Amino acid sequence: MTRYKVLVVDDDVFVAEGLVEHLQEAGYSVVAAHNAREAIARIREETYDVALVDMKMPEIDGFQTASILRQMQPNLRVIILTGYPSVDSEMRAAQMEFYEYLPKSNWYDLLLPTIERALIEERPAPKKRPSDLEKVAAQYTAEGKHELAALALEQAARLAEFTHDWERAAHLYDEAFKHMRRARGLSDDARQLRDLAESAREMAKEASA
C-alpha cells in the first residue's frame, strides 16, 4: 500500500502538531515545517504528494511559500489553510491555482476528504509558473508605474534568494534597478538595488565555483 507524504507548514507549533497527529492516525507520512525556510529545506530533502500551508506566516506568507514549493515540485498539490478566511484571499488562492482553500474553523471535517480527492484526481502536466510578483511587475510596467514595478521585482528577487537561485535574483535586482531609474533617476534606493544585484552575482559565482 502506498504511503503518501504530506508536508505541513504552519508557524503555530500547536496547530502543526495537531495536524501531524491527525494525518498520521489516518495513515499518512507527515513532516512539519514552521516557516518558509524550513519548508524549502524539507522539499529539497524529499518529494511530497500534498502540502498544507498556513496562509499567515512571518517573513514570507503562505501564498508566496506555497508558490516557491510548487516551483520546486510542480506536481505538489497545495491546500491553503487559514484562520482568517475572506473572499479576497479565497479568490487569490484560486487565481494561483492551488488545489483547495480551507478555513481552519472546519478543517477537521473537510481535510481528509480533500486530501483523498487531491490524491485520486489526475494531476496536470507540470508547467513552469512565473512568480506572481513578476506578473504584478509586468502589469505595473504596462501601466507605466515603474516604481511599483521595481518594488515587486525586488520582492521577487528576495524570493529567488530563498531558493538559492542567485542568477535569477541578480537578474531581477537588475530589472528592479532599471525600473527605479526610469521612475525617478538614480536615487539612494536605486543604488541599493544595484548593490544587491552585485551581491547576488557574487553569490552566483561562489555557488557555481
Q: Please give the pLDDT value at position 126.
A: 47
Q: What are phi and psi of 53, to 5 degrees?
A: -125, 125
Taking only the tens place, the pLDDT of each residue in 35-74 is 998 999 999 999 999 999 999 988 788 998 998 898 888 8
The Cα 19–Cα 177 span in angstroms is 43
Instruction: Count CB atoms within 10 A of the CB of residue 112.
Output: 15
27 has a pLDDT exceeding 90: yes
Which CATH number describes the domain made up of 132-208? 1.25.40
> Domain 5-120 - what CATH class?
alpha beta
Q: What percent of the chain has pLDDT over 70?
A: 79
Q: Please give the pLDDT value at position 191.
A: 57
- Judge contact between 152 and 134, C-beta under 8 A: yes
Q: Please give the pLDDT value at position 137.
A: 76
Q: Please give the pLDDT value at position 107.
A: 77
Q: What would the mean pLDDT of 122-146 be, rounded to a whole number?
A: 66
Q: What would the mean pLDDT of 82-90 be, rounded to a whole number?
A: 86
Q: Please give the pLDDT value at position 207.
A: 54
Give the up-direction half-sphere exposure of residue 45: CA atoms within 13 A in the CB hemisphere: 11
Residue recorded with cell 525586488: 154
**Does the fold of domain 132-208 match that of domain 5-120?**
no
- pTM metric for this prediction: 0.62
List C-alpha distances in Å: 42 to 13, 32, 69, 73, 89: 16, 9, 10, 11, 26
- Judge contact between 40 and 72, C-beta under 8 A: yes
Domain boundaries, the chain: 5-120, 132-208
In SS3 terms, the chain reads as CCCCEEEEECCCHHHHHHHHHHHHHCCCEEEEECCHHHHHHHHHHCCCCEEEEECCCCCCCHHHHHHHHHHHCCCCEEEEEECCCCHHHHHHHHHCCCCEEEEHHHHHHHHHHHHHHHHHCCCCCCCCCCCHHHHHHHHHHHCCCHHHHHHHHHHHHHHHHHCCCHHHHHHHHHHHHHHHHHHHCCCHHHHHHHHHHHHHHHHHHHHHC
Taking only the tens place, the pLDDT of each residue in 94-132 is 878 889 999 888 777 889 999 999 898 765 544 444 456
